[in-house]
Structure formats: C-alpha cells, structure tokens
C-alpha cells in the first residue's frame, strides 16, 4: 500500500483510550476537494486516514491524537466519539454527488489498514467498528448502503452479519430498548432504526420496525454463535 502524509491542523488531545473505528465517505466531488477541506483550519474537520479510490492511503492526523471527524455522536455510552475513535474517510461522492460502489483497490487497502490498526490497538471489540450513520443516525448516512460490510465481516474485520431467523416479537418500545443496549442512540427512533437497517439490511431501509429487523437485532445481541 502507498502511504502519503498530508498533515491536518485539525486535532487535539484525546480524553479517552481508543476503542472504536468510525468509517465515513467523503461526500465530495473529488479526493482533492476532500483533502483540502480536511486540512483547512477554518473547516475544523479532519480524520486520521483517507483511503483513495486507487487504494492510496493518506494519513492526516496521528492516531494518538483526537481527529475531528464524528461531530455530535454517541455509541455504547460514549458521547465523545472523537476521543475514543480512529476516523477513516473513504473517497466517494456520496448521495449528493453521485453515490457509487466502492472500488476494489479501495476496500483492499481499507482491509490492510484495519488489520494494522487492530495490531496497534489490540482487543478492540468488532462491534465498535461502525459507520458514521451508526454513531450519528439523525445527521449522517455514510458510508451508506453500498459499503461492503459483509466483506469486512467475512474477513474478521467487522461484527459478523446477523441472520433473521427468529422474530422475538418485541413491541416497538422493546425493540428500541434492545437497540439502545446494543449501542445506538435511540433519541430519534426512526433515525436509529434507519441507521440499523442501513448497516444490517441494505435491501430495504425504511425506518420501520418489522419482523425481519427485530430478528436481525436479536441475532446480533446473541452473538455469532446464534
């Protein structure tokens, strides 16, 4: 993998140990536009890494520093997601500029980067490898339905994909309580359900709690042996 250093000024001290990785898409027309923004002091945004479409890795912020990528976010009791996470941006124009599948070289490079991070941060829970939409469901959609979570899961780089085998028949309030226990902020229920589906049921993302969505969450909470 080719690694380029392009330091961003947008970082500060971590307040928590690293326990998460948050994946984003850039949502801009080009990689150069995204890099310019991530390195613009006035923009006050950054990430630790950017993965270009050809697989080139760009390091923007040292991993021991707090990059400014998640914004107002929450996951599993952590409200300062920036302090607890490594942020990775994947070049993709996103929904606004023509969302498209991610490139093979790009995902291959991401897999190598994730393996390296796991080596530097041993013991990370795979359930803490999340998308921006997981930690900020009301505001964000990235990395979106086209992101290959099943591929990362099969490679042991993300939580195993759940099976919709058993509907627990929870009432909606029970489903939301379980979704909160899993890690999501359910303050905006439809947004939280949409984010969950965007991650685990990409064929139908409608924000509605149905039998399949309940079964997928039950499978996740039971774990890979379920």
What confidence tens digit (pLDDT) does each residue in 37-84 have? Answer: 999 999 999 999 999 999 999 999 999 999 999 999 999 999 999 999
The angle at the Cα of 170, spanning 168 to 173, to the nearest 5 degrees, equals: 155
Rounded CA gap, 131 and 146, in Å?
Answer: 12
- Residues serving a catalytic function are 89
Q: What is the distance between the terminal CA atoms of the chain, rounded to a whole angstrom?
A: 36
Residue 226's pLDDT band (cuts 50, 70, 90)? very low
Q: How many residues does the chain have?
A: 226
**Average pLDDT of span 160-165:** 96
Give the separation between CA 205 and CA 191, rounded to whole angstroms. Answer: 11
93 near 99, Cβ under 8 Å?
Answer: yes
User: Is pLDDT at 210 greater than 70 in this prediction?
Assistant: yes
Tokens 């790009």 belong to 106
Domains contained in the chain, CATH given: 3-160 (3.40.80.10), 162-226 (1.10.101.10)
Of 2 and 141, the one with more pLDDT: 141
pLDDT band at 1 (very low <50, low <70, confident <90, very high): confident
Which pair of tokens denotes residue 29? 């027309």
Using a pLDDT cut of 70, give the percent of the chain over it.
99
pLDDT tens readout for residues 168-187: 999 999 999 999 999 999 99
For residue 223, the model assigns a pLDDT of 85
What pLDDT score does 47 carry?
Answer: 98
pLDDT given at position 225:
52
Q: Which residues of 162-184 are buried (b: 16+ CB within 10 A; e: fewer)?
A: bebeeeeebeeeebbebbeebbb
Torsion of CA 162, 164, 168, 171, to 10 degrees: 90
């Amino acid at each position: 993998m080719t690694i380029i250093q392009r330091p961003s000024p947008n970082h500060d001290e971590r307040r928590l140990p690293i326990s998460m990785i948050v994946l984003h898409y850039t949502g801009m027309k080009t990689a150069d536009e995204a890099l310019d923004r991530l390195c613009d002091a006035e923009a006050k945004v950054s990430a630790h890494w950017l993965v270009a479409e050809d697989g080139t890795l760009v390091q923007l912020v040292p991993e021991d520093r707090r990059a400014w990528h998640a914004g107002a976010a929450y996951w599993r009791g952590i409200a300062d997601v920036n302090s607890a996470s490594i942020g990775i941006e994947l070049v993709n124009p996103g929904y606004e500029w023509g969302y498209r599948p991610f490139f093979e070289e790009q995902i291959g490079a991401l897999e190598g980067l994730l393996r390296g991070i796991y080596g530097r941060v041993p013991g990370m829970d795979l359930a803490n490898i999340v998308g921006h939409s997981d930690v900020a469901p009301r505001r964000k959609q990235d990395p979106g339905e086209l992101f290959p979570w099943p591929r990362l899961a099969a490679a042991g780089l993300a939580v195993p994909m759940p099976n919709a085998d058993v509907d627990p028949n929870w009432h909606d309030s029970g489903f939301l309580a379980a979704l909160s226990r899993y890690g999501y902020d359910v303050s905006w229920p439809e947004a939280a359900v949409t984010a969950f589906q965007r991650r685990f049921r990409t064929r139908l993302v409608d924000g509605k709690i149905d039998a399949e969505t309940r079964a997928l969450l039950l499978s996740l909470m039971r774990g890979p042996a379920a």
